[in-house]
Amino acid sequence: MASTDDPAGVLFFDARRRLGTFPVMISCHRGANRYAPENTLPAIHKAARLGVDFAEIDIRTTKDGQNILMHDGTVNATTEGKGAVRDLTFDEVTGLAAGTRFGGRQFRETRVPSFEEGLTALGDKMGVYLDAKDIAPEALDAAIQKHRLSQRHVVYQSVDYCDKLRKLDPTVRTLPPLDGLDGLDKVAAIKPYGVDAKWTILSKNTIDACHQRGSSLFRRPGTT
């Protein structure tokens, strides 16, 4: 008899091995946020152990211009702290416990990670879905290059942000949102790597239209 402390990882890995090449790529939202506190190192590590293609993480900037992982504009929802990320220093944010609201003794010491720590936690195989909530394009591009993510990243943000980022560095894999086919021409005009589509607009016509314009298609994390 064999034992493991990661049954979900074992089952998922075995399923992928038996099924062979998947027709789609799989991304964990805010890291593996059902198994560990969202946007934390344990959540990213868990996503890597599951063997998914991407871990999605949210990036924000602190009062003193440093970058951390946080979905909301405030720290209220996932930590014991209060206040806007933009009004707090890097040390103040990264000193907050990010696991107490999730529950479980193993997460009591889990802190809000820096963007740098989050990228390091990816390892050397898993891709990263970068939700640029609040980070300067120049800082984001520098991080992509530093961590050698050119072939395993996508960047989600508005069409305007993605256009600016691509003009700054044409190799960045931009992923602007697509809410309907009537907006596809505007999105396609900036020549993105792909589009991030609402679940409700997915159809063979949508997929074909995106592929005809040279864009991959991602389903927006967290939408139904």
b vs e for 37-59, b when ≥16 Cβ sit within 10 Å of the residue's Cβ? bbbbbbbbbbbbbbbbbbbbbbb
Q: How many other CB atoms are found less than 10 A from the CB of residue 106? A: 11
Domain 25-135 in CATH 3.20.20.190? The answer is yes
This prediction's pTM: 0.89
Domain limits of the chain? 25-135
Cα–Cα distance measured from residue 41 to residue 113, given in angstroms and rounded to the nearest whole number: 7
pLDDT in tens, the chain (224 residues): 455 666 666 676 676 677 667 777 889 999 999 999 999 999 999 999 888 899 999 999 999 999 999 999 999 999 999 999 999 999 999 999 998 788 778 898 899 999 999 999 999 899 999 999 999 999 999 999 999 999 999 999 999 999 999 999 999 999 999 999 999 999 999 999 999 998 888 899 999 999 999 999 998 655 43
